[in-house]
Structure 1
Amino acid sequence: MKAWQLDRLGGELRFKDVPTPEPRPGSVLVKIEASALMSYLKAYVEGKLPAYRPPPGPFTIGTNGVGVIAAVGRDVWHLKPGQRAVLSSHFVAAENVEDPAQVLIGLTSSPEAAAVLADWPDGTLAEYALMPAAAVTPAEGLDRFEAAELVTIGRCIIPFGGLLRGRLAVGETLVVNGATGAYGTAAVLVAVAMGAARVIAAGRNESALQAVARAGGPRVATVKLAGDVQKDAASLREAAGGGVHMAFDMVGQARDPNATLAALHSLRRGGRLVLMGSMTADLPIPYTTLMLNSWEILGQFMYPASAYRRLLDLLRAGMLDISAIRPRIYPLAALPEAMEAAATAGNLECIVMQP
């Protein structure tokens, strides 16, 4: 089969012939129909993201995907050849221990999880992918979606994990900080699907905010942030008609904490703030204010394995509308060009590779 293999971060990336993987115990072999690119894949490949720890030796890059199961290994009982499935790069070791290791297949792991990534190094930018069964979710009943459309659901799964972590409930009001980014925009769409009564999309790009509001519908309001914590918090509370139940922070690479602090101070008593972004500055927490308002601050990395099933159920039921996320399709051989496009794609665009 053909696969994009990287020998090391900052090293040679080649489109080459490699052996098609053979199923092994606990594994599923999937014929890839579509794979979505991360915006930062080019920087990752070039070795410009030093916090990432890739698998040892050459490996196939690529994260989430959609495909058809070609074969399964021993100890796989429910997944069957011929089933359509979505693939998750996020994999948690299945052993019954207190803190099982977790990795992002085809991408990175923490130092203590390096052995897991060494066992499952290869991602989805290939004609076939061999994945652990726990990272494969059946996607039946979604035939109305072409593969290039369905793979954009990977944009939604990460914020869905954070909204589940924050216990977003039907009828609640939510602030999304970083709503003009790809994942922040998806968070707005998912929150609407989950039944939020009001979603406040917050960010600094007015035109991108308006695009998010159009995609999300009448329950979405926007607030353009000015960088002043108290003024921005007041604007968020005004847009919500009072303090919000939950704030979701998906801001990327922020150098100051002001927007996140504004989201925190927009909470009503008993509110929750979920952190899933990549802010590079520390977050100064007002201890007494936090205590007096009974606020919760929750960190969340990725999503539980069950989240993909629930997210696909929202899609099947017509509650989640992903039509606003537009796929731009490239052939698998055109990865260098596609990585350039992904680095500059808008928040409602998704760069998709197809074999």
Structure 2
Amino acid sequence: MGGKLEWKQVPVPVVRAGTVLVKVSVSALVSYLKAYTQGELGVYSPPPQEFTIGSNAIGHIQDVGRDVWHLQPGQRVALSSHMVARDNVWNPMAFLLGITKNGEDALPAQLDWPDGTLAPYVLAPVETLTPLDGLEQYSDAQLSAITRFVVPYGGLLKGQLAAGETLVVNGATGSYGTAAVFVGLAMGAARVVITGRNRQSLIEIAGKAQARVVPVVLSGDLHRDAACIRQACGGGANMAFDMVGNAQDPNSTLSALFSLVPGGRLVLMGSMAVDLPVPYIYMMINGWSILGNFMYPKDATLKMLELVRSGQLPIEVITPNVFEMSALEAAMDAAATAGNLENVMIDCQS
């Protein structure tokens, strides 16, 4: 992987059946975008032809094709890069627009939809769009934060987090880990224990989240950390959400696992450079479940927006950092080093 990143003038796409033409306002940049464009991420499978990069975005509908019945020109929408084939089959193709595909079986879908959102206009499949009606108090840049929150929301849905439960967020100082803290509170977690090795960052998150959040600074000693987490939970957690980024050892993930009460669930949604050694006997005796999860269901953004409208999910805790399109290189550098409460994006109309 790896190619040449350059600017090109291309025609505005024309709608066809099942598609929507979106005038892109802001396009959020993933932290790894520069490394991706330089071909340094071998696990990613970009389209084999020339394509437009870019992931999630906020924009306004310009035109709709046939078979689009509920969306109308002028509506503000969130565009999700996560696309799952609409076919009613057991193993539908899945891919991320303008980024990667989930296995070679998804190549036909990726060839049909190679382009991402770093453009003034994007043609998108209707199923990737969610209307943003009733959120006029938020700017487009502020609403871009929902694309940060919806990723961990998908994992918390997978783990079936229930109101009144205790949640551990491991890797809480990363951008998606921090978002998971606020989503867990919005979903009704009675207590959220946040773990990581950066004491100051944990304190800052707990201060912004205020009630029901307890920080635990990890030492790297698996059993000592597990005991500290259990104590902070008041005896143990119902669910642990693991969002570590490129972990070099499994200890923090295992400490989250060992903090669970019998019947507890561990959801894996981060990344690790080594394998996770599963403690077979402990798993069996305690009835623990380990669940892997990638992204989120099609209706996740729609559901999560109700938490925003009701005031339970404060998306304003994420600060927008908006760059002009001409400053893409600087924006990619900023995204790679952005803080966990910062959202770097491109103004696609600049």
Equivalent AA in structure 2 for residue 72 of structure 1: V
Equivalent residue number for residue 207 of structure 2: 214
Alignment partner, residue 144 of structure 1: 137
In terms of mean alpha carbon deviation, does 11-20 or 38-47 score higher? 11-20
Shift of 1:280: 1.4
Deviation at 1:97, TM superposition (A): 1.0
| TM norm structure 1 | 0.96
The amino acid of 1:284's aligned partner reads P
SS across alignment from 2:287? coil
What are the Cα deviations for residues 195-252 of structure 1, in whole angstroms up to 9, with x where unaligned?
1110011001111111111221211110011111110000001111111000000001
Q: Following the alignment from structure 1 to structure 2, what is the Cα–Cα distance between the partners of residues 148 and 333?
A: 18
Residue 5 of structure 1: aligned partner: none
Percent identity over paired residues: 56
- The answer to whether the Cα contact below 8 Å between 1:68 and 1:84 also exists between their aligned partners in 2 is yes
Helix, strand or coil at the partner of 1:99:
coil
Structure 2 residue corresponding to 1:189, chosen from 159, 179, 182: 182
Secondary structure of the 2:6 match is strand
Instruction: Say if 2:49 is the partner of 1:60.
Output: no
How many residues align? The count is: 347
Counterpart mapping for 1:285-296 below 5 A: 285-296=278-289
- Partner of 2:336: helix, strand, or coil? helix
User: What are the equivalent positions in structure 2 for 1:5-44 lying under 5 Å apart?
Assistant: 9-44=1-36
Q: 2:96 corresponds to which residue?
A: 104
CA deviation after TM superposition for structure 1 residue 15, in Å: 2.1
**SS of the residue aligned with 2:228?**
helix
CA contact 1:36–1:351 (8 Å) conserved in 2: yes
Distance 1:247 1:215 in 2: 21
Does structure 2 conserve the Cα–Cα contact (< 8 Å) formed by 1:234 and 1:266? yes
Question: More deviation in 212-221 or 169-178?
Answer: 212-221
Q: Which residue of 1 aligns with 2:114?
A: 121
| Equivalence map 1:219-258=2 (5 Å) | 219-258=212-251
Kindly provide the CA deviation profile for residues 65-119 of structure 1, in whole angstroms up to 9, marking residues without a partner as x. 0011111111111111111100000000001111100000010002110111110
Which of 139-148 and 9-18 deviates more?
Answer: 9-18
Q: CA deviation at 1:30?
A: 0.5
- After the TM superposition, which of the residue ranges 227-236 and 12-21 deviates more from structure 2? 12-21
Please tell me whether the aligned partners of residues 39 and 344 of structure 1 are also in contact (alpha carbons under 8 angstroms): yes
SS at match of 1:14: coil
CA distance in 2, matches of 1:264, 1:47: 34
Letter in 2 for 1:271: G
Structure 1 residues 163-198: Cα deviation after superposition (integer angstroms, max 9, x where no partner): 000000111100000000000000001001111110
Measured in 2, the distance between the counterparts of 1:145 and 1:323 equals: 9
Give, in whole Å, the separation in 2 of the partners of 1:117 and 1:215. 40
- Give yes or no for the alignment of 1:281 onto 2:274: yes
- Among 312, 325, 328, which residue is 1:335 paired with? 328
Q: What residue in structure 1 maps to residue 72 of structure 2?
A: 80
The CA deviation at 1:331 is: 0.9
1 CA distance for matches of 2:317 and 2:113?
Answer: 33
Q: Distance in 2 between matches of 1:91 and 1:214?
A: 36
- Contact 1:200 1:239 survives alignment (8 Å): yes
1:346 counterpart = 2:339: yes
Q: Secondary structure in 1 aligned to 2:328?
A: helix
Q: Are the aligned partners of 1:15 and 1:333 in contact in 2 as well (CA < 8 Å)?
A: no
Q: Distance in 2 between matches of 1:138 and 1:39?
A: 26
Give the one of 242, 257, 269 matched to 1:264: 257
Secondary structure, counterpart of 2:91 in structure 1 = coil
SS in 2 for 1:323: helix
SS at match of 1:289: helix
- State the shift of 1:16 in Å: 2.2
- C-alpha contact (below 8 Å) 1:37/1:352 kept by paired residues: yes
1:202–1:224 contact (8 Å) kept in structure 2: yes
Q: Deviation above 3 Å: which 4+ runs of structure 1?
A: none
- Measured in 1, the distance between the counterparts of 2:113 and 2:203 equals 41
